[in-house]
């Protein structure tokens, strides 16, 4: 599975390895969403992500929303270039 989940004390560390795309979102959502509310803190490591598309973006948005709803503190500990580029593209602020 392209995802590893470790729980340390009050933190859950999740690392997504490989694609964060339409081909993987269903599987990733199935593994990730049950973690919401399981621990007070969720650390998301996106540095091994090789590719990200709109479906991946939507999954991240949902995780963010659900974490908030469940009262879990979400933090992204790392992100690859693919993730950075995708996020920049859809978050461009007025310059």
Partner 1 sequence: MSINLDQALQTFIVEAHELLQVMEQSLLQLENEPADQDAIGAIFRAAHTIKGSAGLFGLNPVVSFTHIVEDVLDRLRDGSVAVDTALIAVLLKSGDHMLELINVVASRGETLQPAALEREAALREALSTYQAPHSTPDTGVQNTETGAGDTSAEVLWHISLRFGVDVFRNGMDPLSFLRYLETLGQITQVTTLTDTIPVLDSWDPESCYLGFEIDLRSTASHATLNEVFDFVRDDCEVRIEAVDETSHKAVSIGSELVAQAEQGPLTASAQRLPATSEPKNRDGNYVRVNADKLDELINLVGELVIASAGASLLARSCQNDPLQEATSTVSGLVEEILDGALHLRMIPIGDTFNRFRRVVRDISQELGKDIELTISGAETELDKTVVEKIGDPLMHLLRNAMDHGIESADARRAAGKAGKGHLSLNAYHDSGSIVIEIADDGNGLNRERILEKAQERGLVASGAVLSDQEIYNLIFEPGFSTAEAVTNLSGRGVGMDVVKRNITLLRGTVDLDSRPGQGTVVRIRLPLTLAIINGFLVGIDKSTYVIPLDMVQECIELDEHQRQSSCDKGYLDLRGEVLPLVDLRNHFSHEGSAGRRQNVVVVRYAEHKAGLVVDDLLGEFQTVIKPLGKLFGALRGISGSTILGSGAVALILDIPALLNQIVQLEARTTQAPYSPTVVAR
Partner 2 sequence: MAKNVLVVDDSSSVRQVVGIALKSAGYDVIEACDGKDALRKLTGQKVHLIISDVNMPNMDGITFVKEVKKLPSYKFTPIIMLTTESQESKKAEGQAAGAKAWVVKPFQPAQMLAAVSKLILP
Among residues 23, 65, 75, 78, the one that binds partner 2 under rule CB under 8 A: 23
Q: Is residue 60 a contact partner of residue 27, using CB atoms and an 8 Å limit?
A: no
Q: How far is the CB of 8 from partner 1 (least distance, A)?
A: 26
Q: How far is the CB of 78 from partner 2 (least distance, A)?
A: 20
Q: How far is the CB of 22 from partner 2 (least distance, A)?
A: 4
Distances (CA, A) of 64 to 58, 61, 67, 80: 10, 5, 5, 18
Which C-beta is closer to partner 1: that of 5 or that of 55?
55
- Helices 81-90 and 54-70 cross at an angle (nearest 10°) of 80
Q: List residues near partner 2 by CB under 8 A.
A: 21-23
């Amino acid at each position: 599975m392209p995802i590893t989940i470790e729980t340390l004390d009050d933190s859950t560390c999740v690392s997504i390895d490989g694609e964060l795309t339409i081909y993987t979102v269903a599987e990733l959502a199935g593994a990730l969403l049950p973690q919401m509310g399981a621990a007070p803190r969720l650390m998301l490591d996106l540095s091994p992500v090789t590719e990200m598309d709109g479906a991946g973006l939507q999954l991240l948005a949902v995780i963010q929303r659900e974490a908030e709803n469940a009262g879990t503190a979400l933090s992204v500990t790392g992100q690859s270039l693919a993730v950075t580029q995708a996020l920049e593209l859809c978050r461009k602020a007025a310059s």
